[in-house]
Copies of this chain bind each other. A is one copy, B any other.
Amino acid sequence: TIQHLFKQIFQASLTLIEDNHNKGLLVSRKRKSKDTVIDLGTVQIGDGIPKIVAGPCSVESEEQVFQVAEVMARQGVKMIRGGAFKPRTSPYDFQGLGLEGLQILRRVADHFGLKVISEIMSPADVEMATRYVDVIQVGARNMQNFDLLRAVGSASTPVLLKRGLAATMEEFLFAAEYIVSSGNDQVVLCERGIRTYEKWTRNTLDISAVPLIKQESHLPVMVDVTHSAGRKDLLLPLAKAAFAAGADAVMVETHPNPSVALSDSRQQIDLPTFEQFMTQLRESRFLPELLGTR
């Protein structure tokens, strides 16, 4: 019985310590119970209405982005993604168009009334990026690039923070804390699959991350189904699952001609498939609100 008592003290201690630990975080729901909504003007993330973000893996040309944006606009999608600065495993792979890529995105997005999400990899590029993009993406490989986190935290442009390849939920929230504690509270957290032993998918979509973040934090949650699956045939069911689990938005990659794409040619869907994806999402009982996006 003394052992029992002891156990209780122990458990209580444990809870107390963890409570203290998390209560302090600016990203914690304990500090701010109300959902953070990212307001991009013509579209919001975290307002309770499911959103789709689409676009090519890499920006390759103005024509390519135009073709994608045209279909997106027709489908009522308001946010375009596209990589201009590409984090590539090999230094010999296509590294992106850089500044020119951001300029293409901006011009095409403005033409169709879209908002732009694009990744940067260097603190030195933050200021430049804020002139062209509406949301700065911090990629999975840079989730613990603390200098970059502080740099985007000093800007006023909203940030899309992707979960690291093998980051724990705790590390993910602390990475967001770096941004918010630097002054920028406009952060969206993006689950994009974690690295496991399974080989039939490129990564393992950790669907539990969605409700966990919603519970622990007030920040909105996005799910990148393309990088999670790494294959085209799972995008629709994973998008449904993401929304069912409480995600605020789903990101999907689409390209006018995936087979010749300069990156991720295996996992991007072509434009007719993207339209079909949107139609099926809208027709499913899961997403009546998406109807409103048309």
A residues at B contact (CB < 8 Å):
3, 6-7, 9-10, 13-14, 16-17, 20, 24, 87-92, 121-124, 141-142, 144-148, 164-166, 168-171, 174, 177-178, 181-182, 194-201, 204-208, 210-212, 214-215, 228-229, 233-234, 237-238, 240-246, 285-286, 288
Chain A contact residues, majority secondary structure: helix
Contacts of A234 in B (CB 8 A): 208, 211-212
Contacts of A124 in B (CB 8 A): 123-124, 147
Given contacts A89-B174, A166-B166, A286-B244, contact A210 B197 (CB under 8 A): no
Q: Is the CB–CB distance between B200 and A170 below 8 Å?
A: yes
Q: Is the CB–CB distance between B146 and A144 below 8 Å?
A: no
Given contacts A147-B121, A197-B168, A204-B206, contact A241 B245 (CB under 8 A): yes
How far apart sit A166 and B142, CA to CA, in the bound complex (Å)? 13
How far apart sit A168 and B202, CA to CA, in the bound complex (Å)? 13
Contacts of A20 in B (CB 8 A): 3
Q: Is the CB–CB distance between B243 and A244 below 8 Å?
A: yes
Quick one: closest B residue to A171, CB to CB? B89
Q: Is the CB–CB distance between B13 and A17 below 8 Å?
A: no
Q: How many copies does the complex hold?
A: 4
Q: Is the CB–CB distance between A237 and B246 below 8 Å?
A: yes
Contacts of A214 in B (CB 8 A): 237
The residue in A141, A182, A243 that gathers the most chain B C-beta atoms within 10 A of its C-beta is A141
How far apart sit A269 and B204, CA to CA, in the bound complex (Å)? 27
The residue in A174, A198, A233, A246 that gathers the most chain B C-beta atoms within 10 A of its C-beta is A198
How far apart sit A123 and B196, CA to CA, in the bound complex (Å)? 31
Looking at the assembled complex, report how far the CB atom of A10 sits from the nearest CB atom of chain B, in whole angstroms. 4
Looking at the assembled complex, report how far the CB atom of A204 sits from the nearest CB atom of chain B, in whole angstroms. 5
Contacts of A244 in B (CB 8 A): 237, 240-241, 243-245, 286
Q: Is the CB–CB distance between B198 and A206 below 8 Å?
A: yes
Given contacts A13-B10, A200-B169, contact A238 B145 (CB under 8 A): no
Q: Is the CB–CB distance between B204 and A196 below 8 Å?
A: yes
Contacts of A10 in B (CB 8 A): 10, 13-14, 17
